[in-house]
C-alpha cells in the first residue's frame, strides 16, 4: 500500500499524512474520500497488475510508469505529476477541477466509464481510443512511459465489473457511469478477497494480459495504429455488434443506490417513511445516505407535482 509511495514524491505543499488518509478511507462516516485510498489500503491493484505486466513484458517498472497508472484516479494539471491531495481537499466534489472531471465529469472515460450526457457505447469507445492513441504518441515522442501508464489504467479499469458490463466471453455490453453508482458499492468490486491476492480480483488476469501486450507494443515501438487495432479488436470488442449503437451509461443494479430509486416504483408517500428508514440502516457512508435521502425526497416531490391530489402522510423535514 502506501509504503511503496515515497512521501518525497509530493511537493511539500502537497504533503499529506498517508497513514491517516488510508485509515480515514476505512471510516464510512468520512465524506470526502474515494475508493482509490481503499484500493491502496487493500493492496494497490493497479500497481500490482502493472508491476507484474512490466515483468512479463521485460520493461522496467519505474516511478514514471507507476505514477502513470495511478494518474487517472489522482490526475494533476502539472505535467508528469499525480495529485493525491485532490481527493481530500474538496476538489473531488468541486466542478471544473481535473479531479472532479475525472471521477464525475466528462473524463469518466479515463476509467472506461460513460461521462454524463447522451453517449452510445461506440462513442465512449471512440473517446477511449482517441485518448489512448494521443497518450501513446506522446509517450513515443517524449520517450516517457508515464503516458503508457495512463493507458494501462483505462484498460485495467475496463475489466472491473463496476466499470463495464462484459458478456461471458468478455465482449463489451455497456460502459457504466460512476455518477449513477453508490461509490461504496463500486469500490467493493475491486477489493482483494480476505485470504487472496490481487490475482483473485475479478478481471485482474485479463487486465494483466492486456497490460502486458500494451507494454510489449510500446517496447517494440509499434505504431499507434497497432495499439488502436489491439484496443478495438481485443480489449473492447462489442457483444454481437449491436451494443455499439446502444445508449451507454447507467449501472449494473448491483452498484446502484437502489433504495432511493425504489421509491419510483413504490409511487406512494405512504412508503416514503419505509424507504428513508431503509436508507438510514443501510451500510452506506453518511455522504451516500445523504445523497439517497435527497434523491428520495426529490423523487417524492416529483410525484407530488405529478399527482397534486396526493397529500403527504408525513413531513420529510422531521427525518
Ligand atoms: Zn480508475
Kindly report, residue by residue over 197-252, the tens digit of the pLDDT.
888 888 999 999 999 999 999 999 999 999 999 999 999 999 887 789 988 988 88
Q: Report CA(14)–ligand 1 centroid distance (Å).
A: 21
What is the residue extent of each domain of the chain?
A: 12-254, 257-310
Q: Report CA(6)–ligand 1 centroid distance (Å).
A: 21
299 pLDDT band (50/70/90 cuts)? low
The pLDDT of residue 3 is above 60? no
Q: Report CA(232)–ligand 1 centroid distance (Å).
A: 19
Task: Write down the pLDDT at residue 17.
Answer: 39
Tell me which of 295 and 87 has the higher pLDDT. 87
Task: Write down the pLDDT at residue 183.
Answer: 80
Q: Report CA(104)–ligand 1 centroid distance (Å).
A: 11
Q: Report CA(301)–ligand 1 centroid distance (Å).
A: 35
The pLDDT of residue 36 is above 50? no
Task: Write down the pLDDT at residue 298.
Answer: 65
Q: Report CA(79)–ligand 1 centroid distance (Å).
A: 19
Q: Report CA(110)–ligand 1 centroid distance (Å).
A: 7
Q: Report CA(153)–ligand 1 centroid distance (Å).
A: 6
Q: Report CA(154)–ligand 1 centroid distance (Å).
A: 7
126 pLDDT band (50/70/90 cuts)? very high
Q: Report CA(74)–ligand 1 centroid distance (Å).
A: 9
Task: Write down the pLDDT at residue 146.
Answer: 97
Q: Report CA(20)–ligand 1 centroid distance (Å).
A: 22
* Cα–Cα nearest to 111, from 48, 167, 179, 52: 179
Task: Write down the pLDDT at residue 233.
Answer: 96
* Nearest-angstrom CA–CA distance, 178 and 105: 9
Task: Write down the pLDDT at residue 239.
Answer: 87
* Cα–Cα nearest to 148, from 60, 29, 275: 60
Q: What angle separates helix 121-142 from helix 146-157, to the nearest 10 degrees?
A: 160
pTM: 0.71
Q: Report CA(157)–ligand 1 centroid distance (Å).
A: 6
Q: To the nearest whole number, what is the mean pLDDT of the chain? A: 77
Amino acid at each position: 500500500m502506501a509504503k511503496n509511495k515515497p512521501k518525497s514524491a509530493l511537493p511539500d505543499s502537497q504533503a499529506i499524512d498517508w497513514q491517516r488518509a488510508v485509515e480515514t478511507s476505512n471510516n464510512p462516516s468520512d465524506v470526502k474520500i474515494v475508493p482509490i485510498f481503499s484500493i491502496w489500503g487493500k493492496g494497490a491493484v493497479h500497481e500490482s497488475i502493472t508491476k507484474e505486466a512490466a515483468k512479463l513484458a521485460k520493461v522496467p517498472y519505474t516511478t514514471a510508469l507507476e505514477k502513470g497508472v495511478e494518474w487517472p484516479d489522482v490526475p494533476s494539471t502539472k505535467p508528469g505529476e499525480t495529485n493525491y491531495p485532490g481527493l481530500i481537499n474538496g476538489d473531488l466534489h468541486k466542478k471544473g477541477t481535473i479531479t472532479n472531471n475525472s471521477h464525475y465529469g466528462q473524463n469518466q472515460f479515463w476509467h472506461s466509464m460513460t461521462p454524463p450526457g447522451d453517449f452510445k457505447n461506440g462513442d465512449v469507445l471512440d473517446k477511449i481510443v482517441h485518448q489512448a492513441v494521443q497518450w501513446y504518441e506522446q509517450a513515443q515522442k517524449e520517450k516517457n512511459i508515464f503516458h503508457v501508464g495512463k493507458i494501462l489504467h483505462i484498460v485495467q479499469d475496463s475489466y472491473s465489473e463496476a466499470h463495464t458490463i462484459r458478456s461471458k466471453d468478455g465482449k463489451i455490453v455497456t460502459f457504466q457511469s460512476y455518477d449513477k453508482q453508490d461509490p461504496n458499492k463500486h469500490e467493493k468490486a475491486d477489493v482483494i478477497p480476505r485470504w487472496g491476492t490481487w490475482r483473485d480480483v475479478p478481471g485482474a488476469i485479463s487486465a494483466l494480459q492486456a497490460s502486458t501486450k500494451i507494454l510489449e507494443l510500446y517496447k517494440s515501438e509499434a505504431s499507434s495504429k497497432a495499439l488502436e487495432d489491439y484496443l478495438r479488436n481485443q480489449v473492447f470488442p462489442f457483444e454481437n455488434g449491436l451494443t455499439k449503437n446502444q445508449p451507454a451509461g447507467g449501472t449494473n443494479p448491483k452498484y446502484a443506490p437502489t433504495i432511493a430509486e425504489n421509491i419510483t416504483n413504490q409511487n406512494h408517500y405512504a412508503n416514503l417513511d419505509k424507504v428513508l428508514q431503509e436508507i438510514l440502516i443501510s451500510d452506506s457512508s453518511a455522504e451516500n445516505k445523504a445523497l439517497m435521502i435527497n434523491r428520495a425526497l426529490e423523487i417524492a416531490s416529483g410525484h407530488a407535482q405529478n399527482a397534486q391530489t396526493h397529500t403527504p402522510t408525513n413531513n420529510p423535514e422531521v427525518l
